Structure 1
């Protein structure tokens, strides 16, 4: 297992971690500046942050600062109550792949979607099996273009508490089943076009986690996200803890991930409306560096 204690070369910052401090949106160029000043070598930006500034400007700034991407957030949300809404999702995912390719992202992270309308509080239907079928079909349709432009897709299984509104793929095993079905190969040296983004916040509880990480292997493990599970959790979406302030066995899980062949970034992704989003962004980044060395 790699030793992170002496530097933060393999730390990446998901820009959600520092995008909204004390209710004020931090522009993506400022986040990139703050990361570059601290020797942080990678980020994972969100599409709306890139759009607010312009893709050419962000691409140029990344090139000038030498900062790479550990992933791009996000594609997915394939479900819909009509054929037109599902096609619109496919079109949007095509645009997301183009953006990810232009920014040299290693993968486009997929939050796959769930019951359409649930995020607004009124699901159009309650058939989760139907939603899972629409997700499967949406990923299958998107893979053709992903292969054409060479942009891998990474399914992010989300905690079951978000099965109704954000993602109806909730275990690593389910995500890998889809990978094996839609992107099969017996040649394990060929790069996968469909893999997983493993976020410890969503999967730490899974009794099959170690065996499924081993099953995923180097081919399927495309991104690795870290934070911690706070006790008590005050909000299921936006009360993640800083690494070391919760109950997740972070070093043990990274050991499993690296034993499976993953050698990329540990990407810090913290949604924290009541804590870390209330602090100055620079301070948050400094603590991320410290905890990356001490507990990740």
Structure 2
């Protein structure tokens, strides 16, 4: 039979041992929960997905591209408290051609430094599209991490009903020019519509060369075409006023003044100042339609309702 004093001592030792075991298990559990994963961290771009396409809409407006990066392979996740450096780089492929427009190289880069939390939306204040590279870098535990993805920015064509008001309606000379030149189309397969020589967009701007804004912003393209045609009308007027008789421009087609001026201006939009529609014949004392003006006839027959 065990003595009472000895039994009491044995119970006390057992309780102490059990208490120590519980304390040790609890401490180990807390330590394990607090210790970070010792794995190698990597950086990935979660958004946007590789190969995604974004649209310059018919407003026109550049797209909103939400970028999100994530650090993986380490716990707890340090992404929310980490600073990231971002870069977006947009480039339109250059197409060779005889037009000055074909030599315009369009690109836009935008960066941000020390953006906290792994999220970023570039402002994209300039109109530009094409192959788009997104890159993000950061440093974790003295290790530099980086990730990169590729997406596309493409243009969407406006509806003709959006274009007509800028051109003064459907049947104006400049509207017929836009119809003949491009079918009132700014983009083809998401890229600026190009003619054989590199003429660009709705108004097929050639010389002066279309700017990057005029390549990717259809409104800027149309405005440039209108301005160019107004210059052509002034040049046509100056040309015809060299020979005016009794307030008229006598001509071999028996046309009225407004028709004479109309054809001279339209021809100049396509051919420039060196290829006039009307040539003065000193012997006959009248303007002769030379060359015949096939482009002008095609424009006047064009319609894009």
- For the criterion TM > 0.5, the same-fold answer is no
The structure that is strand-richer by fraction is 2
The structure that is helix-richer by fraction is 1
Larger radius of gyration: 2
Which TM-score applies when normalising by structure 1?
0.18
Which TM-score applies when normalising by structure 2?
0.18
Structure with the bigger RCO (C-alpha within 8 Å, sep 6+) is 1
